[in-house]
């Protein structure tokens, strides 16, 4: 049968493929950048409310402008007019390239090199995420971290050790490496390194001290870091700083109803948990797309990944779907439920007759190997 009707099959496959292609085409409504705006800077995808170009009108507001500097190859994205390079943008965070404070000494205890760090996010909609930890490396170090805007405080870490044999790779708990948490809502980060004994006793294996804020999951302490001038650059490359972002300073209930409320159709509003106000938007269940971009989130056609029994009929609805059973079958029609069972197996002819269209399509489905053939079952 296959041999005889192979041409017929191929023709049908072709039609089905064309059909499913156009169906898929229709379902791609999830543009992530604002229409007519560049969506990528180098490897970074920039979704609205962020947008590429200073004052280009591609973002929700000037602080969501991404400055794509094309004098680098590949081009590098920066936050606004500043020098914070963006590595990743997600639904609620930004990852930026790190800045590492350092101080090195010679064997006489003189400072030979020093690098301080101050990152100020005060006027931006960003705060340092409390995922970050403040890490200090060294064996004769104390480092202070001063934060302000939001809640002013000074905190820090001290690490004093005497022998390289006491240090353990991967163990950042106070000997050679010290880590401390930061409060939520931190907007300004300023760090300074200091020394108790001018490195005189430990200079041979730990001539420098380092301090940085960053994602602890991307950092693993190695004893050799203490005597490795490449540490600073390696950390800048490998350990990002995580920032939380939010829209405005009003919470959801304050912002809802205002004319510039950013959460569009079929989305819901989430209060920022930084304690500084602001909100974000997320698509409601059963919807996808970019909640900040007109027209808002669009319905997911669940029937494309048929969640119904093979004898069931899937019907897409706004935000959801229903399954029912073909005539002669009973059940809830769902793959994850009771499915569809033949009502009465004494009438195989009826079952056969009704089964034909579905079986036929199922055969074709496996024959053509097309995922979205279920569209035609609707
Ligand atoms: C950027 O993408 C190119 C090609 O896809 C890849 O070779 C390169 O490693 C990527 N660079 C970064 C920094 O991810
Ligand atoms: C791009 O980076 C270069 C080198 O750091 C700098 O001189 C230039 O001003 C930057 N351009 C923009 C548009 O920021
Ligand atoms: C190094 O330290 C010594 C003593 O602490 C001091 O006399 C000397 O001037 C310092 N040298 C430099 C270059 O700072
Ligand atoms: C917090 O620090 C900032 C800048 O250092 C200062 O302007 C502000 O008055 C301080 N706030 C409090 C409550 O001390
Ligand atoms: C520290 O690094 C220097 C230069 O790489 C090397 O000469 C020295 O032996 C190292 N010291 C220790 C204790 O590993
Ligand atoms: C670290 O990177 C900077 C800038 O890319 C470079 O000038 C410097 O030589 C590097 N330092 C080391 C120790 O590799
Ligand atoms: C939103 O802000 C208003 C005014 O500051 C406050 O009264 C209300 O409790 C806040 N709502 C939530 C859910 O935090």
Residue closest by Cα to atom 6 of ligand 2 = 71
Question: What spacing in Å lies between the alpha carbon of 110 and ligand 5's midpoint?
Answer: 18
Residues of the chain with pLDDT > 90, as a percent, come to: 52
Q: Angle between the 348-368 and 6-27 helix axes, to the nearest 10 degrees?
A: 80
Q: What is the pLDDT of residue 345?
A: 54
Q: Does residue 64 carry a pLDDT above 90?
A: yes
pTM of the model: 0.78
Residues of the chain with pLDDT > 70, as a percent, come to: 81
Mean pLDDT of the residues in the chain: 82
Residue 329 structure tokens: 């079958």
Question: Would you say the CB of residue 67 lies under 6 angstroms from ligand 2?
Answer: yes
**Tens digits of residue pLDDT in 164-211:** 999 999 999 989 999 999 988 888 888 989 999 999 989 999 999 999
DSSP class of residue 295 equals: T
Confidence grade of residue 63 (pLDDT, cut at 50, 70, 90): confident
Q: Does residue 352 carry a pLDDT above 70?
A: no
Question: What spacing in Å lies between the alpha carbon of 21 and ligand 4's midpoint?
Answer: 59
Question: What spacing in Å lies between the alpha carbon of 216 and ligand 2's midpoint?
Answer: 30
Question: What spacing in Å lies between the alpha carbon of 106 and ligand 3's midpoint?
Answer: 10
Residue closest by Cα to atom 11 of ligand 5 = 205
Q: What is the pLDDT of residue 41?
A: 94
Q: Distance (Å, rounded) from C-alpha 19 to C-alpha 21?
A: 5
Q: Distance (Å, rounded) from C-alpha 82 to C-alpha 206?
A: 34
Residue 112 structure tokens: 């030979």
Residue closest by Cα to atom 7 of ligand 7 = 254
Which of 323, 338, 340 minimizes the C-alpha distance to 377? 323
Q: Distance (Å, rounded) from C-alpha 249 to C-alpha 50?
A: 17
Q: What is the pLDDT of residue 179?
A: 94
H-only helix segments in the chain:
6-27, 231-238, 252-255, 348-368
Q: What is the pLDDT of residue 51?
A: 94
């Amino acid at each position: 049968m296959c041999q005889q009707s192979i041409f017929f099959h191929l023709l049908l496959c072709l039609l089905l493929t064309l059909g499913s292609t156009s169906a898929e085409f229709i379902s791609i409504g999830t543009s992530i950048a604002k229409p007519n705006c560049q969506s990528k800077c180098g490897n970074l995808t920039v979704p609205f409310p962020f947008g590429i170009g200073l004052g280009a009108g591609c973002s929700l507001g000037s602080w969501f402008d991404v400055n794509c500097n094309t004098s680098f190859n590949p081009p590098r994205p920066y936050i606004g007019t500043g020098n914070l390079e963006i590595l990743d943008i997600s639904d609620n965070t930004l990852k930026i390239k790190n800045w590492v404070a350092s101080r090195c000494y010679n064997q006489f205890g003189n400072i030979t090199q020093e690098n301080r760090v101050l990152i100020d996010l005060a006027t931006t909609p960003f705060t340092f995420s409390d995922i970050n930890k403040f890490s200090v490396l060294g064996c004769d170090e104390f480092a202070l971290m001063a934060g302000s805007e939001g809640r002013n405080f000074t905190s820090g870490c001290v690490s004093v050790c005497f022998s390289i044999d006491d240090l353990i790779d991967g163990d950042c708990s106070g000997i050679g490496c010290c880590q401390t948490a930061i409060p939520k809502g931190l907007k300004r980060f300023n760090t300074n390194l200091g020394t108790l004994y001018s490195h005189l006793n430990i200079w041979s294996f730990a001539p420098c001290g380092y301090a940085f804020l960053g994602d602890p999951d991307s950092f693993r302490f190695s004893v050799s870091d203490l005597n490795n001038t490449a540490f600073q650059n390696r950390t800048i490359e490998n350990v990002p700083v995580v920032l939380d972002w939010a829209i405005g300073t009003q919470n959801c209930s304050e912002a809802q109803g205002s004319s510039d409320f950013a959460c569009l159709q079929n989305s819901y509003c989430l209060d920022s948990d930084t304690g500084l106000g602001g909100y974000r938007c997320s698509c409601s269940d059963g919807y996808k797309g970019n909640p900040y971009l007109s027209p808002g989130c669009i319905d997911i056609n669940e029937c494309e990944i048929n969640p119904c029994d093979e004898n069931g009929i899937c019907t897409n609805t706004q935000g959801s779907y229903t399954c029912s059973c073909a005539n002669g079958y009973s059940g809830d029609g769902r793959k994850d439920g009771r499915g569809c069972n033949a009502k009465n197996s004494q009438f195989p002819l009826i079952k056969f007759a009704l089964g034909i269209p579905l079986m036929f399509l199922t055969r074709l489905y496996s024959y053509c190997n097309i995922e979205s053939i279920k569209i035609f079952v609707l």
